[in-house]
Amino acid sequence: MSAELAGSVAVVTGASRGIGAAIAKRFAAAGASVVLAQRGVSGDAGAVVAAIEREGGRAISVEADVADADAIFAAAERAFGTADVLVNNAANQSLVDFLDLTLDDWTEMLRTNVAGPALCIASFARRRIAAGGGGAIVNVGSIEGVRPARGHAHYAASKAALAQLTRAAALELGAHGIRANLVVPGLISSPTLETDWPDGVARWRKAAPLGELGTPDEVADACLFFASPASRFVTGAELAVDGGVLAQAAF
């Protein structure tokens, strides 16, 4: 246990598995009371809450879409008080060739990956301002917001938009003491990734100067930095957690 977030309340969206679950556990270990928000499509936020509680932390889960931002933050207030930290981690990631993308594909991707985080930021910020200001927003982007992959045009575009949303939030909310920053993960390990996509993993390891995949815990540590007082004079910034892939020459 550490004390970087002692006494704070953190809302983490998409927190039932993978990166989101790691963030929730890391924040709880740092002293935050954590609200795990999930749409209920996959994962098990209840198991994450139980794991946090076994370690002496405090957490609840809320089944809500990111578009229902007010419901998420109202639940946080009922359980723990006004949220001090928001992590926008929930995301849609589907594989569709560019010429096959439909309006529905674009609408769902941008709704979840851009509009949802924007609504959560606004709901969070209104409550922080009413409470006297201050607070930290951490958005979880992707290196595809800089370098798109085939079949991910809609996803890459959404993550590029999330980067600009982060800067806009930093610009407009800074006067209230609210910071907004972006963590940019590269390829992050999962239980089935190497089995499901061995050629992609091999290409990644060849491209990454550090030669490895990232882990959810490594992304969580970057999010903790932006959420904690250690980054108190940092806003509108991006931190790549990609083993150095973005440092590689493109030619």
In the residue annotation, 142 being an active-site residue is answered as yes
Q: How many residues does the chain have?
A: 251
Whether 155 is catalytic is: yes
**CATH number belonging to domain 9-245:** 3.40.50.720
- pLDDT at residue 193, as a whole number: 92
- Please identify which of the residues 123, 155, 158, 228 carries the catalytic annotation: 155
pLDDT at 41 over 60: no
- Confidence at residue 208, expressed as pLDDT on a 0 to 100 scale: 95
Predicted model pTM:
0.95
166 backbone dihedrals φ, ψ, rounded to 5°: -60, -45
Angle (CA) 61 64 67, round 5°: 140
Task: For residue 78, report the phi and psi dihedrals to the nearest 5 degrees.
Answer: -65, -35
Q: Does position 43 have pLDDT exceeding 80, yes or no?
A: no
Region 167-196: mean pLDDT is 96
pLDDT (tens digit, 9 = 90+) per residue, 124-179? Answer: 999 999 999 999 999 999 999 999 999 999 999 999 999 999 999 999 999 999 99
Structure tokens at 173: 């909310």
Q: Which residues pair with 184 in a beta bridge?
A: 240
The active-site residue, picked from 8, 16, 159, 228, is 159
Please report the pLDDT score of residue 40 as a whole number.
66
Please, what is the end-to-end C-alpha distance for the chain in angstroms? 45
- Residue 242, pLDDT score: 96
- Paired strand residues for 185: 241
Task: pLDDT band for 251, please (50, 70, 90 cuts).
Answer: confident
* pLDDT score of 99: 97
Q: What pLDDT sits at residue 1?
A: 61
Residue 20 has pLDDT above 70, yes or no: yes
Distance of CA 25 to the CA centre of its chain: 13
Annotation marks residue 8 as catalytic? no
Q: Which of 8, 33, 142, 228 is catalytic?
A: 142
Q: Residue 203's pLDDT is what? A: 93
